[in-house]
């Protein structure tokens, strides 16, 4: 029942610890879906987390731990919303730099959560340049990375701790990977709880820098932002902090073709009643892309978020029926 009455948090003194504020992940036993995929399947859904994705775990931890009262971040997606909301709870100010082409619903969501939106024309100036500019103008502010920060990994480790304590013994946990904040957090949380459960990363084949990094033994970057449907994984590379965990900690990376990501969204809809965003469905897509690897196992797929534009979702549902 965490999360009820959270509106009152901001009025208290010291920040409440993450474990009291975060909503526990929603564990869903999915026998029909599992049968179809040949595994015993549990979904760990972060779609009902505050602001609709796991990003709240990291955002709150960062905002609560740093001493700065102002936070600047660049995000057109879930991290911006999560940081705006977390800062609101903590009585801190939050500026989110977004491309001027961002969907209005995403801009509105950040504002509704209490964040200040700084739209930037990315043809003139990249978001990172605009963030650096703002950082110079506001030296008292903390510039938050969506993934490459030990506080991000620590925040996401709370999900690993929950999986360790949930009473189920998984042969594999699969989580989407973009910058690596989620997968490194889950590994950290599981290991801190004494669990050696293998953790696999599910990555869009179109954005397979993590898979290539693991093969090369060093961080390999995408040349440009990959245009995968899994927009939460459109990162250029892993971060230094996340790579330090992932290089030894990951059991493997499964590269998921775009059509398997879409099929995973549809299967979650049809056989588990779960609305997932494409990035959130990546872990299930990994079961479709590499079924032999997980055959007959007890698998936990982390569904990282559910925020998807209705028009995009409708198109994904349509593909199966036209």
Q: Which candidate, 263, 255, 257, places its Cα nearest to that of 316?
A: 263
Residue range at the interface with a copy of itself (CB under 8 A); choices 63-71, 191-199, 217-225, 264-272: 264-272
Q: Whole-angstrom Cα distance, residue 25 to residue 158?
A: 10
Backbone angles phi and psi of 122, in degrees to 5: -70, -10
Contact 285, 293 (CB under 8 A): no
Least distance to a copy of itself from the beta carbon of 190, Å? 18
Q: Whole-angstrom Cα distance, residue 95 to residue 91?
A: 13
- C-alpha 293: how far from its chain's center? 24
Q: Residue 93 belongs to what H/E stretch?
A: strand 93-99
Which residues on adjacent β-strands are paired with residue 94?
A: 71
Of 218 and 314, nearer to a copy of itself (C-beta) is 314
Contact 258, 202 (CB under 8 A): no
Q: Which of 32, 100, 125, 218 binds a copy of itself (CB under 8 A)?
A: 32
Question: Is 9 near a copy of itself (CB under 8 A)?
Answer: no
Contact 160, 170 (CB under 8 A): no
Question: Is 26 near a copy of itself (CB under 8 A)?
Answer: yes
Of 169 and 224, nearer to a copy of itself (C-beta) is 169
Q: Which candidate, 243, 232, 254, places its Cα nearest to that of 172?
A: 254
Q: Which of 10, 16, 23, 138 binds a copy of itself (CB under 8 A)?
A: 23
Interface residues for a copy of itself in 152-191 (CB under 8 A)? 166-168
End-to-end CA distance of the chain: 42
Of 140 and 273, nearer to a copy of itself (C-beta) is 273
Question: Is 28 near a copy of itself (CB under 8 A)?
Answer: yes
Question: Is 6 near a copy of itself (CB under 8 A)?
Answer: yes
Q: Copy the structure tokens of residue 12.
A: 């208290």
Residue range at the interface with a copy of itself (CB under 8 A); choices 151-159, 243-251, 253-261, 303-311: 303-311
Q: Which of 12, 17, 20, 29 binds a copy of itself (CB under 8 A)?
A: 29
Question: Is 38 near a copy of itself (CB under 8 A)?
Answer: no
Where on the chain is the footprint of a copy of itself (CB under 8 A)? 1, 3-4, 6-7, 23, 26-29, 31-32, 42, 47-48, 52, 105, 112, 166-168, 266, 269-270, 272-275, 306-307, 310-311, 313-314, 317-318, 320-321
């Amino acid at each position: 029942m965490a999360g009820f009455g959270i509106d009152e948090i901001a009025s208290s003194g010291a920040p409440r610890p993450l474990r009291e504020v975060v909503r526990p992940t929603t564990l869903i036993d999915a026998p029909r879906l599992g049968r179809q995929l040949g595994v015993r399947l549990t979904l760990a859904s972060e779609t009902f987390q505050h602001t609709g994705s796991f990003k709240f775990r990291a955002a709150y931890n960062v905002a609560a731990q740093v001493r700065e009262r102002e936070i600047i971040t660049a995000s057109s997606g879930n991290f911006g919303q999560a940081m705006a909301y977390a800062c609101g709870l903590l009585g801190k100010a939050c500026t989110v730099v977004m491309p001027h082409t961002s969907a209005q619903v995403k801009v509105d969501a950040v504002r509704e959560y209490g964040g200040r939106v700084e739209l930037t024309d990315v043809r003139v100036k990249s978001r990172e340049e605009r963030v650096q500019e703002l950082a110079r103008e506001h030296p008292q502010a903390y510039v938050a990375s969506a993934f490459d920060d030990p506080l991000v990994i620590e925040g996401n480790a709370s999900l690993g701790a929950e999986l360790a304590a949930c009473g189920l013994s998984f042969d594999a946990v699969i989580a989407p990977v973009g910058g690596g904040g989620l997968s490194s957090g889950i590994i950290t949380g599981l290991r801190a709880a004494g669990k050696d459960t293998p953790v696999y990363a599910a990555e869009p084949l179109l954005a397979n820098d993590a898979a290539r990094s693991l093969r090369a033994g060093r961080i390999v970057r995408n040349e440009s932002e990959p245009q995968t449907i899994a927009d939460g994984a459109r990162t250029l590379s892993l971060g230094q902090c996340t790579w330090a965990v992932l290089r030894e900690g990951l059991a493997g990376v499964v590269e998921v073709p775009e059509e398997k990501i879409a099929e995973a969204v549809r299967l979650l809809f049809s056989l588990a009643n779960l609305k997932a965003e494409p990035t959130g469905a990546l872990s299930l897509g990994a079961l479709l892309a590499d079924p032999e690897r997980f055959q007959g196992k007890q698998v936990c797929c982390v569904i990282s978020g559910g925020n998807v534009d209705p028009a995009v979702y409708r198109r994904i549902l349509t593909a199966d029926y036209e």
